[in-house]
Amino acid sequence: MNRDSVTDVQAALEERITRMVAGTAEFKAPQDLAERVLSGLERRVKVPWWQRRVMEWPRLAQAGFALTGIVTAVALLLGRPATPKTLGAIIADLHTTLNVLSVFHRLTDTVAGSLPDDVWYGGMALCAAAYVALFFLIVFGYRMLQAPAASR
């Protein structure tokens, strides 16, 4: 068989299958369905990478995003909160220009000195948990408000 006859046989088979399948459909597709699908695909291609899902970002951007998250988590978990002495040194430098900071200094010195490290770490963990919970609440609300009426 030459190439033209194979192409003719494939075209005839495709036409026969198309006719057979077309008669079996319960619902007919809209005439402009293919056009709408192609225009939707073209619109998706034109969306900038930073407005897409993270898994569709370039690998370098994904790595940077993951690295930033890991560094932030490590800093929150392993970094010790500032001690009252450190706060005192920082605020003492500012105290010369703003006298109001001396009140803040005494307050932070008293509060920071009286709280054990576990309270600081617990507070950071609570903030992280609240952040995650708020994120999921926002996603849930967004999906509920943006869901089509038929799927509700």
pLDDT band at 74 (very low <50, low <70, confident <90, very high): confident
Highest mean pLDDT (candidates 79-83, 87-91, 100-104, 139-143) = 139-143
Q: Are residues 3 and 20 in the same domain?
A: yes
Supply φ then ψ for residue 102, to 5 degrees: -65, -35
Q: Are residues 40 and 55 in the same domain?
A: no
Classify residue 89: in a domain, yes or no: no
pLDDT over 60 at 150, yes or no: no
* pLDDT for the residue 38: 87
Q: Are residues 61 and 36 in the same domain?
A: no
CB burial of 2-38 (b: ≥16 within 10 Å; e: otherwise) equals eeeeeeeeeeeeeeeeeeeeeeeeeeeeeeeeeeeee
pLDDT band at 30 (very low <50, low <70, confident <90, very high): confident
pTM, entire model: 0.34
How many domains is the chain built from?
Answer: 2
Q: Which of 86-95, 99-108, 123-132, 140-149 has the lowest mean pLDDT?
A: 86-95
Classify residue 1: in a domain, yes or no: yes
Q: Are residues 2 and 42 in the same domain?
A: yes
Q: By C-alpha distance, which of 128, 118, 136, 122 is closest to 72?
A: 128
* pLDDT for the residue 127: 93
Q: Of 30, 58, 79, which closes a domain?
A: 79
User: What pLDDT, in 10s, does the model give residues 40-51?
Assistant: 888 888 888 888
Q: Are residues 29 and 64 in the same domain?
A: no
- Domain hosting residue 38, numbered range: 1-46
* pLDDT for the residue 70: 92
